[in-house]
Amino acid sequence: MKLEGVELRRVRMPLVVPFVSAHGIESDRDVLLIRACTTEAEGWGECVALSEPTYSSEYVAAAEQVIRNHLLPRVLVDARDGHLDTARSAAAMSQVKGHLMAKAAVELALLDAELQEKGVSLATHLGGVREAVDAGVSIGITGGVANLLDLVDGYVADGYRRVKLKIEPGWDIEPVGEVRTRVGDRVALQVDANGSYGLADAEHLASLDPFHLLCIEQPLADDDLLGHARLARQLRTPICLDESITSAHTAEVAIALGACSVVNIKAGRVGGYLEARRIHDVCVAAGVAVWCGGMLETGIGRAANAALASLPGFTLPGDLSASDRYYDRDLTAPFVLEDGRLRVPTGPGLGVSPLADVLAQVTTSVDYVRVGA
Ligand code: NPG
5: CB partners within 8 A, 6+ apart? 37, 76, 368, 369, 370, 371, 373
Instruction: Identify which of 295, 297, 321, 324 to mutate to test ligand 1's pocket (most ligand atoms within 8 A of the CB).
Output: 295
Q: Name the strand (E) or helix (H) holding 327.
A: none
Determine how β-strand 341-343 pairs with β-strand 132-134.
antiparallel
| Residue 371 clears pLDDT 90, i.e. is over it | no
Determine how β-strand 239-241 pairs with β-strand 289-292.
unpaired
State in Å: Cα 64 to ligand 1 middle.
21
Summary count for the chain: helices (H), strands (E): 14, 13
Determine if ligand 1 sits within 6 Å of the CB of residue 194: yes
State in Å: Cα 268 to ligand 1 middle.
12
**Residue-level pLDDT at 177:** 98
Determine if ligand 1 sits within 6 Å of the CB of residue 160: no
Rounded to whole angstroms, the Cα distance separating 285 from 279 reads 10
DSSP 69: I
| Rounded percentage of the chain residues whose pLDDT exceeds 70 | 99
- The mean pLDDT value for 35-58 works out to 96
Helix axis angle, 72-80 relative to 86-93, nearest 10°?
140
Determine if ligand 1 sits within 6 Å of the CB of residue 293: yes
**Residue-level pLDDT at 325:** 96
Can you say whether the dihedral through the CA atoms of 95, 101, 102, 106 is positive or negative? positive
State in Å: Cα 26 to ligand 1 middle.
10
Atom of ligand 1 nearest to the CA of 218: 9
Q: pLDDT tens digit string along 10-25?
A: 999 999 988 888 778 8
**Residue-level pLDDT at 70:** 97
DSSP class per residue in 146-189: HHHHHHHHHHHHHT-SEEEEE-BTTBSHHHHHHHHHHHTTSSEE
| Residue 83 clears pLDDT 90, i.e. is over it | no
For the chain, the maximum distance between any two Cα atoms, rounded to a whole number of angstroms, is 62
Rounded to whole angstroms, the Cα distance separating 128 from 121 reads 10
The residue contributing the CA closest to ligand 1 atom 9 is: 194
Determine if ligand 1 sits within 6 Å of the CB of residue 172: no
Atom of ligand 1 nearest to the CA of 54: 17
Q: pLDDT tens digit string along 85-125?
A: 899 999 999 999 999 999 999 999 999 999 999 999 999 99
Of 313, 312, 358, nearest to 130 by C-alpha is: 312
Rounded to whole angstroms, the Cα distance separating 283 from 276 reads 11
Determine if ligand 1 sits within 6 Å of the CB of residue 155: no
More confident residue, 158 or 371: 158
State in Å: Cα 140 to ligand 1 middle.
8
Catalytic residue annotation: 166, 266
| Residue 171 clears pLDDT 70, i.e. is over it | yes
Phi and psi, residue 271, nearest 5°: 95, 5
| Residue 41 clears pLDDT 90, i.e. is over it | yes
Q: pLDDT tens digit string along 261-317?
A: 999 999 999 999 999 999 999 999 999 999 999 999 999 999 999 999 999 999 999
What strands, in cross-sheet order, belong to the sheet with 188-192? 136-139, 162-166, 188-192, 216-217, 239-241, 262-265, 289-292
CB 14 within 8 A of CB 27: yes
Q: pLDDT-based confidence at 373, cuts 50/70/90?
A: low
Region of residue 99 (phi > 0: left; psi between -120 and 50: alpha; otherwise: beta): left
The residue contributing the CA closest to ligand 1 atom 1 is: 319
Atom of ligand 1 nearest to the CA of 297: 2
CB 262 within 8 A of CB 288: yes
CB 326 within 8 A of CB 139: no
DSSP 344: P
The residue contributing the CA closest to ligand 1 atom 16 is: 295
